[in-house]
Amino acid sequence: MPQYRFVTVWRLQAPIDQVFAEIDDAEAWPTWWPNVRAVELVEAAGADKIGARFRTTFVGKLPFELRFDLRVSASGSTTMR
């Protein structure tokens, strides 16, 4: 199976706690991130979100959607599958 890497660099002038809170709330991404079309909770988890799985749909300049699952593997981080 091919492997891909997508790298994005964001430079924000905001308190780190506020930035982390926005990124941590994956289900709200479509409200402020134009390239995110949908985020669906597939598997719920506890309050710390560890083990939660989200199905995400992104679009870009190419004429297709990129859909993948994110699983929260540790507090404050996600892994893509």
Rounded Cα gap, residues 3 and 43, in angstroms: 24
Check residues 9 and 42 and name the one with the higher pLDDT: 42
Q: What is the pLDDT of residues 11-66, one digit of tens each?
A: 889 999 999 889 889 999 999 999 999 999 999 988 888 899 999 999 988 888 99
Give residue 8's pLDDT.
Answer: 77
* Direct distance between the N- and C-terminal alpha carbons of the chain, in angstroms, rounded to an integer: 12
How far apart (Å, rounded) are the C-alpha atoms in residues 70 and 6?
A: 14
Report the predicted TM-score, pTM, of the whole model to 2 decimal places.
0.74
* DSSP code at position 23: H
Q: Which residues contact 36 (CB under 8 A, 6 or more apart)?
A: 29, 30, 56, 57, 58
